[in-house]
Structure 1
Amino acid sequence: MNDAAASIPFRAGTEGYASFRIPAVVVSRAGTVLAFCEGRVDSAADHGHIDIVLKRSADGGRTWGALQAAASNGTDLAGNPAPVVLDSGRILLVHVRSAASATEDAILRGQVSDADGRRVWVQHSDDDGLTWSAPTEITPSVKKAGWRWYATTPGHALQLRSGRVVVAANHTLPPAGTDNGTEARYNSGHCLLSDDDGETWYLGYLDENTDGYVNVNETTAAELPDGRVYFNTRNDSPAPGNRADAHSADGGRTLVKPFRPQAGIGAPVCEAAVLQLRDPDLLLYSGPADPAARALMTIRVSADGGTTWRSAYPVDGLPAAYSDLTRVDAETVGLLYETGDFSAYSTITFRRVPVNRLT
């Protein structure tokens, strides 16, 4: 593919951060591309001192401004950015915070206090992402007692045509019986909903299948032209393939059916992203396409609301992992993704993809 269409807003080991992970991207009402990710200060680990960092582009992702911290938690963790641009132009940033010492393993085993564990916060910007409000905690409204691990998206959230804000998310349940240190990881899915532009929040659907067949993990969402919400998730289980999906007919409050395997998408165990285009009417999916490794970043297309998929745009054969998608303008889709020549985590790269390459 055309390397001239790519730029690199984040490169590991630069600008005060050992690693950059977990990309999310939106385009503001002013047309500014906002690329978010986790800036991991000391290492590539999922815990530690982590900020949510941001770069802005005024030319469609060709060049980038200075790095800024959109959300920080002192020397603790602020991560899993889930940004969404509201109809009003306000940009919401939903994310999680935890103590730097709270490892995923310790959280899963119930060895971390509620105060130090994964908690949910929201900030906003009313000036095109230049400055951000003080964070507001919403944990009591969107995390049930007993839940252990908790993650928003990764990737962008969305505002439905009704005005409702939907943030896909996942959590884990404690094991049944005695915790002997070898518990099964019971991944489960839910979403956060707001009907007042992020002022108040509540839980939508719950999918808490603990039979080991489909365990909902990192989830992405899009609103289809018929008003249904499509959810696509990473599936860490023996089900066919490593993806599962579901639909909601009531704006995310409930699912029509529980998540089921989506074996039409060959993929490794990894996060992915979806985006609904209005013109043309296509549902896009981005993620690595090598079923055995995080490599071969590819955009797939569905013309039937996620029932079937075809490969439309293989980027290259390099290592690649997490990604997100946005509509830059009428002719261009933006793909923000983790990649590198020898490691999927060397850079977070932005690629401008012509819409006519997807149709």
Structure 2
Amino acid sequence: MSEAETSIPFRAGQEGYASFRIPAVVVSGAGTVLAFCEGRVDSAADHGHIDIVLKRSGDGGRTWGPLQVAAGNGTDLAGNPAPVVLDDGRILLVHVRSAASATEDAILRGQVSDADGRRVWVQHSDDDGLTWSAPTEITRSVKQAGWRWYATTPGHALQLRSGRVVVAANHTLPPAGTDNGTEARYNSGHCLLSDDRGETWYLGYLDENTDGYVNVNETTAAELPDGRVYFNTRNDSPAPGNRADAHSADGGRTLVKPFRPQAGITAPVCEAAVLQLRDPDLLLYSGPADPGARALMTIRVSTDGGTTWRPAYTVDGLPAAYSDLTRVDAETVGLLYETGDFSAYTTITFRRVPVHRLT
């Protein structure tokens, strides 16, 4: 693996944050690598004072500039960064906000008000990520009444060749026929769509399978060369394996078939990322490959639109969890991922992976 270069833009306990989680990475129109994540001020918990932080690299991810807060919410939470670079150079940052005190458990049980719960916002940058607009709330357009938990991606969002912006997302439903504080674990999938470069938004597909077989959770998307959109999701259910996938033939508005198990990907219950390369024509997947633990970060490759997969590049055998992928240049793919010697959450590391290692 000596050909791969690595750098560490985020390390737990440094720069004013106890923990860094939930990586997302894009390359701007100017070629700048933008590495986003959640900066968790007080602890590694999923609630509390959390900012979306950003570091920029002008040399392909070898070195990084100073830490910036791309989206803050006072001492409350701004998280689940879903950045996308548009064809006109604008960078959108879709994300969620909630009260610092709103734990996932309380939200799932219906014990958190709409005002304090998971709400959806968007910002943009027109100067290569140096500064960001004030946030605009889009919750009413993309979150239905009654939904409890809500999360964008995590990882990068997508602009299709048609110009449409697609942000994969997930939500939970309350238990059927009751709202008595029972914990709702009916994970469901949807996506956010915009046909005017992020000015207005609406809901695309809904996959609300409550039979406990495939429950769509954190989801990632890529546009295939034939124009279909491929969705790959974390599956917290008894179905074979811990991944499921689906295709859309209409830009995310509907699914050809509901999400079904993807047993060809060995993985623990964890987020993952996908990225479509154009030259060569490869669909990539990154995620931990140990079936029972968050470890063994691996890039897999599909040449048939996600039907079958093969391991192509194993980073190492260390603990590893969430990840994201981007195309840095013609010869290089960038992998931004959580890892550490004894814990997956010690650093967020960036690895430059030669494309020829994936073919």
TM-score under structure 1 normalisation?
0.99
CA distance in 2, matches of 1:225, 1:183: 41
CA distance in 1, matches of 2:312, 2:293: 20
CA distance in 2, matches of 1:75, 1:270: 27
CA distance in 2, matches of 1:184, 1:39: 27
1:152-205 C-alpha deviation (Å, 9 max, x unpaired):
000000000000000000000000133455535000000000000000000000
Aligned to 2:105, the other structure's residue is in SS state: helix
1:111-143 C-alpha deviation (Å, 9 max, x unpaired):
000000000000000000000000000000000
Aligned to 2:304, the other structure's residue is in SS state: coil
Contact 2:109–2:184 (CA<8 Å) still a contact in 1? no
CA distance in 1, matches of 2:111, 2:351: 41
Aligned to 2:356, the other structure's residue is in SS state: helix
After superposition, the Cα gap between the structure-2 partners of 1:164 and 1:173, relative to the gap in structure 1 and judged at 3 Å, is same
Aligned to 1:356, the other structure's residue is in SS state: helix
Contact 2:3–2:354 (CA<8 Å) still a contact in 1? no
- For 1:265, the equivalent position in structure 2 comes to 265
After superposition, the Cα gap between the structure-2 partners of 1:263 and 1:62, relative to the gap in structure 1 and judged at 3 Å, is same
* Structure 1 residue 109 displacement after superposition: 0.2
CA distance in 1, matches of 2:297, 2:282: 19
Contact 2:4–2:353 (CA<8 Å) still a contact in 1? no
- For 1:10, the equivalent position in structure 2 comes to 10
Contact 2:172–2:184 (CA<8 Å) still a contact in 1? no
Contact 2:108–2:184 (CA<8 Å) still a contact in 1? no
CA distance in 2, matches of 1:26, 1:178: 42
Contact 2:16–2:41 (CA<8 Å) still a contact in 1? yes
Contact 2:170–2:187 (CA<8 Å) still a contact in 1? yes
Aligned to 1:56, the other structure's residue is in SS state: strand
CA distance in 2, matches of 1:181, 1:111: 7
The yes-or-no answer on 1:84 pairing with 2:84 is yes
1:228-260 C-alpha deviation (Å, 9 max, x unpaired):
000000000000000000000000000000000
- For 2:94, the equivalent position in structure 1 comes to 94
- For 1:53, the equivalent position in structure 2 comes to 53
State which drifts further: 274-283 or 1-10: 1-10
1:23-52 C-alpha deviation (Å, 9 max, x unpaired):
000000000000000000000000000000
* Structure 1 residue 272 displacement after superposition: 0.0
CA distance in 2, matches of 1:181, 1:192: 28
Contact 2:141–2:201 (CA<8 Å) still a contact in 1? yes
CA distance in 2, matches of 1:297, 1:194: 32
After superposition, the Cα gap between the structure-2 partners of 1:63 and 1:127, relative to the gap in structure 1 and judged at 3 Å, is same
After superposition, the Cα gap between the structure-2 partners of 1:227 and 1:245, relative to the gap in structure 1 and judged at 3 Å, is same
After superposition, the Cα gap between the structure-2 partners of 1:4 and 1:207, relative to the gap in structure 1 and judged at 3 Å, is closer
* Structure 1 residue 2 displacement after superposition: 2.6
Aligned to 2:4, the other structure's residue is in SS state: helix
Contact 2:153–2:168 (CA<8 Å) still a contact in 1? yes
Aligned to 1:218, the other structure's residue is in SS state: strand
CA RMSD after TM alignment: 0.8
After superposition, the Cα gap between the structure-2 partners of 1:4 and 1:162, relative to the gap in structure 1 and judged at 3 Å, is closer
After superposition, the Cα gap between the structure-2 partners of 1:180 and 1:2, relative to the gap in structure 1 and judged at 3 Å, is farther
- For 2:139, the equivalent position in structure 1 comes to 139
CA distance in 2, matches of 1:305, 1:333: 19
Aligned residues: 359
CA distance in 2, matches of 1:238, 1:184: 17
Contact 2:173–2:184 (CA<8 Å) still a contact in 1? no
Contact 2:175–2:182 (CA<8 Å) still a contact in 1? no
Gaps of 5+ in 2: none
CA distance in 1, matches of 2:37, 2:194: 23
Gaps of 5+ in 1: none
- For 1:350, the equivalent position in structure 2 comes to 350
Aligned to 1:59, the other structure's residue is in SS state: coil
* Structure 1 residue 3 displacement after superposition: 7.9
Moved segments of 4+, more than 6 Å: none
CA distance in 2, matches of 1:347, 1:2: 20
State which drifts further: 303-312 or 174-183: 174-183
Contact 2:107–2:117 (CA<8 Å) still a contact in 1? yes
Contact 2:80–2:153 (CA<8 Å) still a contact in 1? yes
CA distance in 1, matches of 2:183, 2:125: 41
Aligned to 2:106, the other structure's residue is in SS state: helix
Q: Percent identity?
A: 94
Give the 5 Å matches for 1:309-324.
309-324=309-324
TM-score under structure 2 normalisation?
0.99
CA distance in 2, matches of 1:180, 1:192: 29
Contact 2:214–2:236 (CA<8 Å) still a contact in 1? yes
Aligned to 1:105, the other structure's residue is in SS state: helix
Aligned to 1:231, the other structure's residue is in SS state: strand
Contact 2:283–2:305 (CA<8 Å) still a contact in 1? yes
State which drifts further: 148-157 or 3-12: 3-12
